[in-house]
């Protein structure tokens, strides 16, 4: 772990996450969904925390308490321009609406914005009195506390991206994370669409290819946000959480995978053309109590 922290991180991450997701994929149908298996979504979340657990283990063994302090201190980098908060919170909604616009431009039907997905989801009792957009803030907070955003970003950005950028450019580091992420997440997406107990199919292969096409620009956008805010895990955490909450409140069209990937590529290419590849590199953290020092290789 001390000599090759990145290899140790990726290896542990796969062991933890796949150790949860692969057994779930082999379970019979009733165990994967429905009333008798309310615990299954929590297992999905535990699997999604694989990057977090791996980062904590490798950092704790290799760098001790001081390394863990540096890792968590990036959650306290908050003194950034208000525009970055707007980008983190609103960019997911803009991307969702762009997907809808492209879908409709090519003849697709408009989604029913009057019936957002949140209306069909099971909600805790304390959220039921809220209605309409009044539920947005409580859901955002609940998702932030119980969702997988922290479990993902503490590992992907707080650990892996920082170290990859010590050896590669920001674009190359984003590409590496995109490939590893797509492989890592494949069992999770297999659980969503494949029959219980089924193995890898051609559909999984095609899904992986299309997923990777869309993940590459998505990772570049997150790298841009992370690097432009001095390595703020807080801003990246808000962005990741906003992606998930947007999916609950904005009814997306049934556009497949190609149109969302096209929307991400369009926004990413415009961004890179506007700011240039040099502006994607990691900038110094703000000189503030929340600033975090660098990491060890």
- The domain ranges of the chain are 5-280
3-state secondary structure the chain: CCCCHHHHHHHHHHHHHHHHHHHHHCCCHHHHCCHHHCCHHHHHHHHHCHHHHHHHHHHHHHHHHHHHHHHHHHHHCCCCCHHHHHHHHHHHHHHHHHHHHHHHHCCCCCCCCCCCHHHHCCCCHHHCCCCHHHHHHHHHHHHHHHCCHHHHHHHHHHHHHHHHCCCCCHHHHHHHHHHHHHHHHHHHHHHHHCCCCCCCCHHHHHHHHHHHHHHHHHHHHHHHHHHHCCCCHHHHHHHHHHHHHHHHHCCCCCCCCHHHHHHHHHHHHHHHHHHCHHHHCCCCCCCCCCCCCCCCC
Predicted pLDDT of residue 193: 66
Please report, in tens digits, the pLDDT of each residue of the chain (297 residues total): 778 999 999 999 999 999 999 888 777 654 454 444 567 777 888 999 999 999 999 999 999 999 999 999 999 999 999 999 999 999 999 999 999 999 999 998 888 887 888 887 877 777 777 776 778 888 899 899 888 899 999 999 999 999 999 999 999 999 999 999 999 998 888 776 665 556 667 777 888 888 899 999 999 999 999 999 999 999 999 999 999 999 988 888 888 889 999 999 999 999 988 888 777 888 776 654 444 555 554
Predicted pLDDT of residue 284: 77
| Predicted TM-score (pTM) above 0.85 | yes
């Amino acid at each position: 772990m001390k000599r090759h922290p990145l290899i140790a991180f990726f290896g542990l991450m796969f062991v933890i996450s796949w150790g949860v997701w692969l057994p779930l994929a082999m379970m019979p149908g009733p165990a994967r969904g429905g009333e008798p298996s309310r615990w299954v979504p929590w297992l999905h979340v535990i699997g999604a925390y694989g990057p977090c657990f791996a980062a904590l283990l490798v950092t704790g063994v290799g760098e001790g308490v001081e390394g863990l302090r540096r890792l968590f201190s990036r959650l306290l980098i908050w003194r950034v321009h208000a525009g970055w908060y707007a980008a983190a919170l609103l960019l997911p909604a803009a991307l969702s609406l762009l997907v809808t616009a492209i879908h409709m431009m090519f003849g697709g039907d408009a989604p029913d914005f009057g019936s957002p997905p949140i209306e069909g989801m099971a909600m805790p009792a304390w959220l039921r009195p809220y209605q309409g957009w009044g539920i947005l803030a409580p859901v955002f907070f609940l998702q932030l506390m119980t969702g997988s955003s922290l479990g993902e970003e503490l590992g992907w950005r707080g650990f892996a991206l920082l170290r990859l950028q010590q050896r590669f450019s920001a674009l190359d580091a984003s590409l590496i994370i995109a490939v590893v992420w797509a492989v890592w997440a494949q069992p999770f997406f297999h659980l969503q669409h494949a029959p219980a107990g089924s193995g890898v199919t051609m559909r999984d292969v095609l899904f992986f290819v299309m997923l990777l096409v869309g993940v590459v620009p998505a990772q570049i956008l997150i790298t841009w946000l992370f690097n432009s805010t001095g390595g703020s895990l807080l801003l990246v955490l808000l962005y990741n959480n906003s992606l998930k909450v947007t999916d609950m409140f904005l009814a997306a069209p049934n556009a497949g995978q190609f149109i969302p990937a096209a929307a991400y590529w369009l926004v990413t290419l415009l961004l890179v053309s506007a700011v240039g590849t040099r502006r994607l590199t990691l900038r110094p953290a703000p000189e503030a109590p929340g600033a975090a020092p660098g990491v060890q290789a």
